[in-house]
Amino acid sequence: RKLSELTLAHVSSVKGGATPASPSSAPVVAATSPDFVLGSSETVWEQESITPILDLEAGMIKGDTANLMACRARVEAALASLEQADPEASPLREAQELEDGGIRAMLGQLPKLTPDELTRIINADTKRTFQGDLAKSVLEPVLQQAAELFDGEYHQGEARVAGFLLMMMPADQVVRTLHLLQRSPRHGVFAYWRNLAVGLAADANCVEAVVAKTDPELADHLSKKLYLPAGTWCPKYCAALGVSMLPYPNLLSFFERFVAEGADFLVRFCLALLQEVRPALMAATDISQGLRQLEIKQHVGQDGAGLQTTIALVERVIARTHDMKDLKLDKSMTRLREEFLAAEVEKGIARYVNPANDDDEGVEECQLCNDNLPDFRCNDCGLIVCEDCHSEPPAGSKHSSAHNVKEFE
């Protein structure tokens, strides 16, 4: 059986219903239909006029059925390469073997959310992702089902990816897609989309290590002049797969390359981005100037005047990722990432499973949103904050994205 059939059957058993029919070719259907697609609804577009994940939609899917279907076809074509994999070498089979030992077994020791915590956090992330009731009513059960299929694991970046996919695909197909990616060892999200997202810290550390080896001048500037750790910006392209950060024309290409090449592509993208904006980074004098270069959406500007130049910039970055394959590293990118991941998992086990001290006892959540695990400790205001709240601090908080932070350990 194909991987798509296996995961779809699993989704149906979780929902307690029959396997849904394949999506129809016409995207304009009733919201109650299993074939309903958010991007086909005028109500959704009216309610989501200021939704961050649609800020950079750039006319790719809004108000044009042909464009919507073309974008959906590209996403489905990319996913077909996984769904039609040889069963003897499928991501599902590989993942099952990994679960018997090694990293997967170690990840299973790390703390998980309780069912009540999971429901609360998914509800909060649903409200952050969409503004209107219609889209939220579709997204929240998708996240709940995906988390249940993934043994109760979840991360806020998953909400953005699901929101992006729901604009083009029906809910059951999005659940299947999320689960397919979660089960695939080479796509990395099995270590990203978790309560303790050790994979994000590992890949950020991997980026820093490669830059230190290949461009020590830039590495020194980022760490000692800008105080800009990779963990402050890499998760936007890893956990959230660039959603809300990249213009949609780039986002589709980014997603296609990610599905084809796995999480190695995400790390190469971050390295290529550093090289593309290197002159501006070297001219930057503080963390806020540095983040303006690395958070690609900031290149567009409030009035959208920089959209076309930003699209061209991201095209150059994606093209550069091919050069990143030829880096003179002692190990392959995959092996390097695996080693950093193993180190982060061991660190998590030491802290949460076999704690040696109680220095941070009682600090379990971001002190701004009280939802997510903390990613950073701020050297300026003293708060412990998650990546989302560092990038976009809640109104009235004393924390600023320009503050000097260090990774929370």
Residue 215 has pLDDT above 70, yes or no: yes
Joined together, the tokens standing for residue 170 give 């029906």
Lowest-pLDDT choice from 47-61, 69-83, 222-236, 364-378: 364-378
Nearest alpha carbon to residue 271 among 197, 352, 209, 192? 209
**C-alpha dihedral sign at 360, 362, 367, 373:** positive
Choice between 302 and 79, residue whose per-residue pLDDT is larger: 79
Neighbouring CB atoms inside 10 A of 287's CB total 21
- Give the 3-state secondary structure of residue 405: strand
Q: pLDDT tens digit string along 121-148?
A: 999 999 999 999 999 999 999 999 999 9
Q: pLDDT tens digit string along 216-231?
A: 999 999 999 999 999 9
Count, residues in the chain: 409
**What per-residue confidence (pLDDT) applies to 356?**
55
Q: Assign 372 a pLDDT band (cuts: 50, 70, 90).
A: confident
Dist. CA 8–CA 62, nearest whole Å = 28
**What per-residue confidence (pLDDT) applies to 16?**
38
Choice between 276 and 393, residue whose per-residue pLDDT is larger: 276
Phi, psi of 373 (to 5 degrees): -65, 145
Average predicted confidence (pLDDT) for the chain: 84
CATH class of 44-84+92-353: mainly alpha
Q: pLDDT tens digit string along 380-390?
A: 888 888 888 88
Q: pLDDT tens digit string along 53-72?
A: 999 998 889 878 899 999 99
Q: Scanning the structure block, which residue is given the tokens 């994999």?
A: 85
Beta bridge partners of 407: 376
Give the residue range(s) of CATH 1.10.472.80 domains in the chain. 44-84+92-353
Interhelix angle 248-261/263-276, nearest 10 degrees: 130
DSSP for 77-95, written as a single string: HHHHHHHTS-GGG-HHHHH
β 384-385/405-407 pair status: unpaired
